[in-house]
């Protein structure tokens, strides 16, 4: 009995010992594996996990750079940065965001639309990201918010920079304006700058602001901040300031630009002033204009609708985007094509009876009774249409268009402006391809007086006048210096036109403004050292029927505005040593001699004298009237 108990007890003890050994071995093996894994993580992979932990703890945020400034040729600011007081809200600190915005609306301008937009933006962004809900506030408004800080959790005031245009309407079509980044901007593949992700960041939308955006924007700075597990900022570790945008100096003159805009005020008009040697654009105006500052702060629906519905199209830059039949200002191109081709000589005459017959069709001159026998000089001086019908028929459209192209017409000039028009110089191939009809001789006759299919912009017409004056392929230029370094432009190449041909055309343009009987003689410059050479133009926008001619052509002033003729004038001065070229187009203004020429003459004098011209520059009979008219102009004071 005792033996069995002893044997059974000894057998159980043996079994327990073996099981213990197995368990112990398994435990030791597991602990060994755990130790090896810990060693791998703590030693071998320590650097990688340290970096991961650091990235979770440290955030990098972008600092928007100061936008580059834009100046005129003399260093006057035309696009600058101003302090912008704004209110930001952090959703995680604000609690009931809607209630906070309601309280804010009692202290600052925050309408229902702003309230809704702010709520949408706050919900779209992470809870810890500060979102701007109001900006462009006064110091008093910011102080009011700060004084009520205990009742506005998550709300804080910040100071940033905002674009401002001190000369507002004068440069709206040149400089353009900036606006907030849109979804379209973000989706552009050619611009993936992370700065565009900053809420309410602004970029150029039109004009130089748009075309020089990459230069003006600058490069972002960064700041490293420590955040907790929820993303809340604990402290700033370091900061690296960005690089401000590049400053630009344009070729335009603020004072001349202001005069040009004031002189055309109240009309749907455009004008360009160009240096005939360097190509500098001293003024580019289009009226009416608009205040670009409204677009920076967010233009109202009512204001935008008023601009969009205005028949004078204030949002469009007519000086570079508008194209018009050049009318008689195109006659110099026809004359040069004929002279260079040898189909006419300067002293050869053509008889004008008031019309030119082509088959059974008559092409009329503006002077019903005709001009009699006229040579090249007289044809320009009196703007005889019949002379140019005859010449255009001899030389043909191909050579006319080719000559006009040498003088900058039909060319989309490369400037930092959006919406630059190329105009149109028709050819036989063009008409067949675009209209699907063959070219006819009548088409050439219409082109001979700048009508028909021919189209040109005021910029192109100024370039044409500058090239006639200089005899060189001068190119219009708008950018004068980048970050203080002046842009260098090589001297323009000669046009390759015979000096005798240019001299004949210049003589005719001189007669237009300086000889009795010239179409612009009444708007001449009296000071001999400043005399100009020019050409009037009147382009029709409607067809005058034979029936109307028999009954009497309806006067422009008796027609609806949109059916009246365009008034044009191109010129350069001084005649003996040309410095500037000017083009003026007044939409539906009427005759070029009566409406466009006086504006161009006054702008030219302002450029020549770099300010108000002396009374002696005007004909004696006009001095009192012009002095009184000048006083009514909305001109800025010197230095403003």
Residue 328 annotated to the active site: yes
Gyration radius (Cα) of the chain, Å: 37
DSSP state of 117: H
Beta-bridged to residue 70, according to DSSP, are 79, 248
- CA 462 from centre of chain: 18
Q: Single out the residue of 158, 153, 135 nearest to residue 63, CA to CA.
A: 158
Nearest to 242 by CA among 198, 208, 206, 200: 198
Q: Walk across the sheet containing 221-227 and list its strands.
A: 58-63, 221-227, 233-240
What are the helix (H) ranges across 277-396?
293-297, 301-309, 318-321, 331-341, 376-381, 385-395
List all residues 6 or more positions away from 67 whose beta carbon is below 8 Å from its beta carbon: 81, 161, 163, 178, 202, 216, 217, 218, 244, 245
Phi, psi dihedral angles at 335 (to 5 degrees):
-65, -45
The DSSP result for 362-405, as a single string, is EEE-SSTT--EEE-HHHHHHTT-HHHHHHHHHHH-HHHHHHHHH
At residue 353, what are phi and psi to the nearest 5 degrees?
-105, 10
* Residue written as token pair 């067949």: 432
Token pair for 258 = 């202001």
Q: Which long-range contacts (CB under 8 A, 24 or more apart) does 353-357 make?
A: 353/386, 354/386, 355/386, 356/385, 356/386, 356/389, 356/390, 356/445
- Check: CB of residue 505 under 8 Å from CB of residue 404: no
Residue 479: phi and psi, rounded to 5, are -95, 120
Where residue 610 falls (left for φ over 0; alpha for ψ -120 to 50; beta otherwise) is: left
- Which residue is catalytic, options 244, 289, 317, 328? 328
Tell me which residues are annotated as active site. Answer: 328
């Amino acid at each position: 009995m005792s033996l069995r108990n002893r044997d059974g007890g000894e057998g159980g003890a043996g079994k327990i010992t073996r099981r213990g050994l197995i368990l112990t071995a398994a435990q030791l093996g597991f602990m060994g594996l755990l130790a090896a894994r810990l060693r791998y993580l703590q030693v071998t992979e320590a650097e990688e996990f340290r970096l991961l932990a650091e990235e979770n703890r440290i955030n990098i945020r972008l600092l928007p750079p100061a936008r580059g400034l834009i100046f005129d040729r003399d260093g006057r600011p035309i696009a600058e940065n101003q302090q912008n007081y704004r209110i930001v809200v952090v959703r995680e600190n604000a609690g009931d965001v809607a209630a906070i915005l309601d309280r804010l609306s009692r202290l600052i301008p925050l309408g229902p639309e702003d309230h809704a937009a702010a709520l949408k933006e706050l919900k779209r962004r992470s809870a810890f990201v500060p979102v701007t809900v109001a900006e462009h506030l006064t110091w008093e408004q910011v102080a009011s918010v700060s004084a009520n800080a205990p009742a506005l959790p998550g709300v804080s005031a910040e100071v940033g920079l905002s674009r401002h245009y001190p000369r507002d309407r004068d440069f709206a079509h040149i400089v353009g304006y900036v606006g907030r980044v849109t979804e379209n901007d973000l989706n552009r593949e050619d611009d993936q700058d992370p700065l565009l992700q900053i809420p309410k960041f602004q970029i150029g939308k039109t004009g130089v602001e748009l075309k020089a955006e990459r230069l003006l924007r600058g490069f972002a700075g960064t700041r490293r901040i420590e955040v907790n597990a929820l993303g809340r900022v604990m402290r700033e570790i370091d900061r690296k300031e960005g690089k401000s945008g590049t400053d630009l100096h344009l070729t335009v003159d603020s004072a001349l630009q202001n005069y040009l805009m004031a002189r055309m005020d109240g009309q749907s008009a455009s004008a360009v002033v160009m240096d005939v040697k360097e190509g500098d654009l001293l003024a580019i105006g289009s009226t009416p204009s608009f205040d670009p500052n409204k677009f920076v702060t967010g233009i109202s629906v009512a204001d935008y609708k008023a601009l969009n519905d205005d028949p004078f199209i204030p949002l469009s830059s007519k000086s570079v985007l508008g194209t018009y039949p050049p009318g008689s200002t195109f006659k110099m191109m026809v004359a040069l094509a004929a002279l260079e081709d040898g189909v006419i000589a300067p002293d050869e005459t053509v008889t004008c009876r008031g019309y030119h017959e082509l088959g059974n069709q008559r092409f009329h001159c503006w002077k019903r009774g005709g001009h009699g026998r006229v040579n090249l000089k007289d044809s320009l001086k009196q703007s005889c249409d019949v002379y140019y019908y005859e010449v255009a028929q001899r030389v043909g459209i191909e050579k006319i268009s080719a000559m006009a192209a040498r003088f900058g017409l039909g060319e989309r000039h490369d400037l930092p402006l959006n919406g630059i028009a190329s105009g149109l110089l028709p050819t036989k191939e063009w008409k067949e391809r675009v209209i699907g009809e063959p070219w006819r001789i009548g088409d050439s006759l219409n082109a001979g007086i700048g009508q028909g299919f021919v189209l040109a912009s005021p910029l192109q017409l100024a370039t044409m006048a500058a090239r006639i004056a200089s005899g060189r392929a001068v190119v219009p230029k708008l950018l004068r210096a980048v970050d203080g370094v002046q842009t260098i432009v090589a001297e323009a190449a000669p046009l390759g036109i015979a000096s005798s041909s240019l001299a004949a055309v210049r003589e005719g343009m001189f007669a237009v403004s300086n000889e009795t009987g010239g179409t612009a003689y009444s708007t001449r410059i009296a000071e001999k050292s400043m005399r100009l050479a020019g050409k009037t133009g009147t382009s029709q926008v409607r067809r005058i029927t034979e029936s109307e001619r028999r009954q009497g052509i309806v006067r422009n002033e008796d027609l609806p505005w949109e059916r009246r003729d365009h008034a044009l004038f191109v010129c350069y001065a001084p005649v003996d040593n040309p410095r500037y070229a000017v083009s003026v187009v007044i939409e539906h203004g009427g005759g070029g001699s009566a409406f466009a020429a006086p504006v161009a003459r006054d702008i030219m004098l302002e450029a020549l004298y770099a300010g108000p011209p002396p009374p002696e520059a005007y004909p004696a009979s006009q001095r009192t009237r012009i002095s009184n008219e000048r006083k009514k102009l909305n001109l800025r004071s010197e230095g403003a």
